[in-house]
Chains A and B, each alone.
Chain A
Amino acid sequence: MALTSLPFALFAIITGVVYFVYPKKEHRWVILLIASCFFYLYNSFRYAVFILVTILSVYFASVKMDDISAETRKTVKEKKSEWTREEKKAFKEASGRKRRRIMALALILNFGILFLLKYFNFFSGSIASILGASPESAPQIRLLLPLGISFYTFIATGYLIDVYRETVTPERNIFRFALFVSFFPQIIQGPISQYNKLHDQLIEPHSFEWTNFKQGIMNITWGLFKKLVTADCAWKAIKAYYANGGINGSEGFSGYGGTMVLFITLLYALQLYTDFSGGIDISRGICRVIGIDLEVNFRQPYFSRSISEYWRRWHISLGAWMKNYVFYPIAMSELSNRVSKAIAASSFGKTAAGKHLSKVFMTAVASFIVFLFVGIWHGANSKYIAFGVWNGLIIMLSAMLGPVYAGSRNALHINEDAAWWKLFQMLRTFIIVLVGYVFDIADNFTNAMQMMFLTVTDQNPGVFLEQLPTLGMRKVEYLAIMCSSMLLLYISIRLEQTKIDTPAELLEKRCGLIQWICLFGLIMIILLIGAYGPAYDPAEFVYMQF
């Protein structure tokens, strides 16, 4: 039941209607729970046991940790007059260790499941290759990935860590907690919601509100437009590129040149963004209709002026998760502190470069590790690891060489607020992002390097035009991609200028008639040139596979 399918539309409509007509407002969250359970079982019945294990393990671990905390506070209060400060500290530390053990066990269990299902085959094959055996001879787990495993594992473990840190009060009602983990609009491809931002919204009763309904429908339509008109049309060309063997070619085809590689990479950038953000728009739209604000996951990422900014605008919820639960624990750790101090204390640390490095080295290393994880999160493949390493390296070097850049800018008298400079930064960042995408498109690391080499050394528009028909696209499809890209660009610029999150809110400022005309026009465009129906091979949402 894909987000763009008719059955899903019916399912979402029925859920919405039942939610609003259910008379006991305080129990409306139960409708969402039932809908989420149905959705999960319908789509991934055989693997539902894995999400159940996650829900149960994280629920009981968080409750247990909270019980220990409460018990500790109570005991300390009771023994306030009897115990010395050291005794209290020792008792608290012992409780902390217990809580840490519980959290560690739950994390190991959940990340263990994720590792086994998603990464075991890759690592097992890689180790076999290193040992000189064939990857096929290595032990394999022959299971499909449960629906949304990367998303719900991160949602649940983020909550667990928050409970451990005592930044949130754990949910004692297991059904409410189950709803938070399995909430159907976010289970397919995120966002990775934080407990303190979503949970209360799920539980509190919402009444039908016209503005929410209108904006929700507009969000859904905009998401469908991005997915069906732009992403899936672009996907057709990318698929043909793969089918024809890419740069290596296939039987009867000699392979694509550098200009085509560049074109496909640009199409991929468009497709990935519209596919992922389109799906998120649909999810956010559904939530909006029932009065729930799901987190924003994209803020015009291709307008970023640095790669760090790009990752603050792209898949924002994953970035936030990594920052909270990977970056800070590393950057703020005792080890980081010691390394920084050691650099500062060394003779090198007395130099200007050394002083700078002592401040930024460990945060740069933490960033690198974060992006290594981001790469691995995307999939069990060397190309995704290379993608993570590439992004991590750029961010690490940017942090470490910050003063060098600043010095160069000053020496060249570059005005940082100048429009041309901002545009240059955007273009530069976009090129760095494209290099990362080449790792995604390529079959493996070697293939990615060959593609990049071709892009630089083999620019031949004549050959490109000759090869263009092999992508099997009709003129109307190129036109659809071009026009939808222009519309996307216009909307993105307006959103950037107004600091508004969605086109629906942008449209809200216009008169009612214009709103209706825009909605009608958008729906007609989707109906007429959208890639749906049996004539099209429906492309799954790219981020569903993660």
Chain B
Amino acid sequence: MPENSDKKKLTIRRVIATVTMVLALAGSLVFMELFLCIPDSQALDQNRVLMLHKEPANTIDVLLIGSSATYSGFSSAYAYEKFGFTSWPYAIGGGTCTMWKPALQDTLRTQRPKLVVVDVFGGGYERDMIATRSSQLYLIMNSMPLSADKVRLAKEINRNVDNVSVASMVFPFIKCHSRVPINMLRLKERLEVERFGPSPLKGVETRTRTRNLAPVDAVSFTEESTPLDEETERVVREFMEYCKSEDLSVLFVKYPTVLTQQDPDELLVNLKANRICEIAEEYGYPSLNMQKSFHEIGLKEREDYYNHGHTNVRGQKKVTEFLGSYIQNTMHVGPTELDDSVRAEWDESIDYYNALAELTEELIRQGKSESIGESPALASDLKRIIDGEDVKTIADKYN
């Protein structure tokens, strides 16, 4: 009997040890999956996606999907100040058309926007880039909790993008594990993001620079178009069909960039953007090519851009006013009814955006070119400006 009892105890100890080991491994994996997989260079993009899900459910009127042209060209806080509707830029640097549908599906988990604005630039990339650029997709998938929807989405992405396995989409750790040791260095910052939100920055991002280069041979807008490659067109049409099936109101836009003879790729992207607008019309979706309205918007090539494709805060305000007005007047998205607490947050975001503009101007004046955007650190700096601290003191912190 004592032998049996010892044996039983031993078995229990072994089971406990095994279960502890499995739990420790699983816990470590989940932790790394959630907090340590995204590359440092994409931290602002990741924060923007995470903060969207921290917004109270069904409070976003307009969702803007796209690439860097979206987050640099549109300010949600400024649009709220001017037009009263709420919005969010679900924008990721280099975002190709393959991210449109996953981004929309990710958003629909918590929000039901009245209008979806899609930046057509993402369909203008070269086919090779569209098929292989997967980092933004991992970023989106990383923000989604494990669910049947996530697996289904991973399978869809697997069809559209080369070298992306379903397993690695469902568990981005499989793809991004080698970044974990380096990302441990910024774990504190990442945990702060987790505690932060809803964010008063509303997904903003910009660079504190003016283009300020020698005048270039500007090219005027053309309505000509060029065919998309077969795969890109399939992805674009699949997205539009999905929007139809979800009965969503969608507007396709092309953000204004500085077109020059020196940049034939950019010209090609514009021709492709025109083609996407043509396809959108087939599905009954309106489009707005802001390239056509470059001068009407009042953009100045040297002052309002930080590089040829992206507006700085000065340009951002102009584009937001133009696009916001279109959304309000043509797409009929008006001021929304918000709870007091939500309204207070959005009202606060106006102060933050004004502080951001102030900081940006100071950094431009000091010649410090910084990428600043959605992060607890920036929010903290802007709060100090709002609270009356001298903007120069804050700007001195930046390199």
Q: Nearest Cβ in chain B — how far from A504, in angstroms? A: 15
Chain A window 145-186, contacts with chain B (Cβ cutoff 8 Å), 1 for yes, 0 for no: 000000000000000000000000000000000000000000
- State the CA gap A528–B32 with chains docked (Å): 10
Contact A533 B17 (CB under 8 A): no
Q: Give the CA-CA distance A528 to B184 in the complex, in Å.
A: 12
Judge whether B371 is part of the interface by a CB distance below 8 angstroms: no
Q: Please measure, in the bound complex, the distance between the C-alpha atom of A6 and the C-alpha atom of B171, giving whole angstroms.
A: 13
Give the residues in chain B near A527, CB-CB below 8 Å. Answer: 29, 173, 177
Q: Is B24 an interface residue (CB 8 A)?
A: yes
Q: B165's closest neighbor in chain A, by CB?
A: A534
B21 touches A476 (CB 8 A): no
A533 to B182, CA, bound (A): 18
Distance between Cα atoms of A512 and B20 in the complex (Å): 13
Q: How far is the CA of A24 from the CA of B233 in the complex (A)?
A: 59
Docked pose: A530 CA to B175 CA in angstroms: 11
Q: A528-B177, A529-B181 are in contact. Are A534 and B24 (CB under 8 A)?
A: no
User: Contact at B181–A520, with CB atoms within 8 Å?
Assistant: no
Q: Quick one: closest B residue to A474, CB to CB?
A: B178
Known contacts being A6-B167, A210-B14, A534-B165, is A520 close to B178, with CB within 8 Å?
Answer: no
Confirm or deny: B28 has a beta carbon within 8 angstroms of a beta carbon on chain A.
Answer: yes
B163 interface residue (CB < 8 Å to A): yes
A524 touches B (CB below 8 Å): yes
In A488-541, which residues have CB < 8 Å from any B CB?
A: 512, 516, 519-520, 523-524, 527-530, 532-535
Given contacts A476-B181, A528-B180, A532-B174, contact A523 B165 (CB under 8 A): no
Q: Which of A476, A520, A529, A533 contacts B24 (CB 8 A)?
A: A520
Cross-chain contact B175 with A535 (CB below 8 angstroms)? yes
Q: Is the CB of B168 within 8 A of A523?
A: no
Say which residue of A519, A524, A529 sits within 8 Å of B178 (CB atoms). Answer: A529
* CB neighbours of A533 from chain B (8 A): 165, 168, 174-177
Instruction: Count A-B pairs with CB separation below 8 Å.
Output: 45
Residues of B within 8 A of A520 (CB): 21, 24-25
B177 and A530 form a contact (CB under 8 A)? yes
Q: Which residue of B lies closest to A214 (CB)?
A: B14
Pair B14/A534 contact, Cβ less than 8 Å: no
Which residue of A has the minimal Cβ distance to B11?
A210
Query: Please, which residues of chain A bring their CB within 8 A of the CB of B182?
Result: 476
Bound form: Cα–Cα A530–B177 in Å: 8
* Chain B residues near A519 (CB-CB < 8 A): 21
Q: Give complex CA distance A524, B164 in Å.
A: 23
Measured in the bound complex, the distance between the Cα atoms of B180 and A524 in whole Å is 11
Most chain A beta-carbon neighbours within 10 Å: one of B32, B167, B177, B181 = B177
Q: Smallest distance from the beta carbon of B20 to chain A beta carbons, Å?
A: 8
User: Do A524 and B28 touch (CB < 8 A)?
Assistant: yes
Please, which residue of chain A has its CB at the minimum distance from the CB of B17?
Answer: A516
Which residues of chain B are within 8 angstroms of A528 by Cβ–Cβ distance? 32, 177-178, 180-181
Set of chain B residues within 8 Å of A524, measured between Cβ atoms: 25, 28
One of A476, A512, A529 near B17 (C-beta < 8 A): A512
Q: Report the count of interface residues on A (CB-CB < 8 A).
A: 17
Residue among B14, B165, B173, B178 making CB contact with A476, cutoff 8 Å: B178
Residues of A with C-beta under 8 A to B176 = 533, 535
Chain A window 181-212, contacts with chain B (Cβ cutoff 8 Å), 1 for yes, 0 for no: 00000000000000000000000000000100
Q: Is the CB of A534 within 8 A of B21?
A: no
List, in ascending order, chain B residues with CB within 8 A of A534's CB: 134, 163-165, 168, 174-175
- CA distance in complex: A324, B24 (Å): 49
Rounded to whole angstroms, the CA-CA distance of A184 and B28 in the bound complex is 32
Bound-complex Cα distance A532 to B173 (A): 11
CA gap between A535 and B32 in the complex, in Å: 17
Residue of A nearest to B167 (CB): A6
Kindly provide the distance from the CB of A516 to the nearest chain B CB, expressed in whole angstroms: 6
CA distance A534 to B181 in the complex (A): 18
Residues of A within 8 A of B32 (CB): 528
Q: How far is the CA of A312 from the CA of B21 in the complex (A)?
A: 38
- Interfacial chain A residues near B28, Cβ < 8 Å: 524
- Chain A nearest CB, measured from B326 CB (Å): 40
Residues of A contacting B165 with CB < 8 Å? 533-534
**Measured CA separation A534–B25 after assembly (Å):** 22
- The smallest beta-carbon distance between B177 and chain A, in angstroms, is 6
Note all chain B residues with C-beta closer than 8 A to A6. 167
Expressed in whole angstroms, the Cα–Cα distance for A128 and B326 within the complex equals 76
Query: B residues 128-186 with Cβ under 8 Å of A?
Result: 134, 163-165, 167-168, 173-178, 180-182
Q: In angstroms, how far is the closest chain A Cβ from the Cβ of B380?
A: 31
Q: Are A523 and B25 in contact (CB-based, < 8 A)?
A: yes
Q: For B24, list chain A residues within 8 Å (CB).
A: 520
Chain B residue at minimum C-beta to C-beta distance from A524: B28
Distance (Å) between the CB of A296 and the closest chain B CB? 27
Per-residue CB contact flags for chain A residues 84-108 toward chain B (1 = under 8 Å, else 0) read 0000000000000000000000000
Q: In whole Å, how far is A224's beta carbon from the nearest beta carbon of chain B?
A: 14
- Which B residues are CB-close (under 8 A) to A476? 178, 181-182
> CB-nearest residue of chain A relative to B14?
A210
Expressed in whole angstroms, the minimum distance between the Cβ of B233 and any Cβ of chain A is: 25
Question: In the bound complex, how far is the Cα of B29 from the Cα of A295, in angstroms?
Answer: 35
Q: Which residues of B contact A516 (CB under 8 A)?
A: 17, 21
Compute how far the CA of A265 lies from the CA of B21 in the bound complex, rounded to whole angstroms: 39
B163: chain A residues at CB < 8 Å are 534
Q: Please name the residue on chain A nearest to B36 by beta carbon.
A: A528
Q: How far is the CA of A6 from the CA of B134 in the complex (A)?
A: 22
Q: How near does chain A come to B76, taking the closest CB pair, in angstroms?
A: 34
Residue of B nearest to A537 (CB): B163
Bound together, the chains give a CA A529 to CA B178 distance in angstroms of 5
What residue of chain B has the Cβ atom nearest to residue A210's Cβ? B14
Complex Cα distance A533/B165, Å? 8
- Residues of A contacting B168 with CB < 8 Å? 533-534
The complex places the Cα of A396 from the Cα of B14 at a distance, in Å, of: 54
Q: Can you list 11 pairs linking A and B with CB atoms under 8 Å apart? A: A476-B182, A516-B17, A520-B25, A523-B25, A524-B25, A524-B28, A527-B29, A527-B173, A532-B174, A533-B175, A535-B176
| Additional pairs, 12, CB under 8 Å, beyond known A519-B21, A528-B177, A529-B181 | A6-B167, A476-B178, A523-B25, A524-B28, A528-B178, A528-B181, A532-B174, A534-B134, A534-B163, A534-B164, A534-B175, A535-B176
Closest 5 CB pairs of A and B: A533-B174, A533-B175, A534-B168, A534-B163, A528-B180
